[in-house]
């Protein structure tokens, strides 16, 4: 079953100028990872330091494999941009409207 992962990010003020390029580089590898169906980056219209990365995954197993890869060999420079730890939430479709 496909899932949606939300990665809630709060960036350092001094990172705002470089964040888009760094996120593009990091998320290129995310998009290329097996099972990734798409990635979108949203910026809070009231707070330019608040970003939400919305990832679509083919399954929870694909997402878990990606998280394991990021924690090991796929480490990124994302931590250098952050003012607070990221918050990951995974969602499954409950029903259609």
The per-residue pLDDT for range 10-67, each reduced to its tens digit, is 999 999 999 999 999 999 999 999 999 999 999 999 999 999 999 999 999 999 999 9
Does CATH number 3.40.50.300 belong to domain 3-92?
no
Domains of the chain by residue range: 3-92
**Predicted TM-score of the model (pTM):** 0.91
Helix (H) or strand (E) holding 78: helix 78-81
The 8-class DSSP code of residue 14 comes to G
Task: Identify the three-state secondary structure at position 94.
Answer: coil
Q: How many residues does the chain have?
A: 97
Q: How many other β-carbons are positioned within 10 Å of the β-carbon of residue 21?
A: 9
């Amino acid at each position: 079953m496909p899932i949606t992962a939300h990665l809630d990010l709060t960036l350092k003020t001094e990172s705002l100028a470089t964040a888009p390029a760094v996120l593009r580089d990091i998320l290129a590898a995310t998009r290329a990872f097996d099972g990734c169906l798409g990635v979108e980056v949203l910026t809070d219209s009231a707070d330019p330091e608040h970003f939400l990365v919305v990832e679509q995954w083919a399954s929870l197993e694909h997402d878990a494999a990606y998280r394991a890869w990021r924690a090991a060999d796929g480490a990124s420079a994302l931590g250098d941009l952050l003012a607070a730890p990221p918050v990951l939430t995974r969602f499954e479709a409950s029903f259609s409207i």
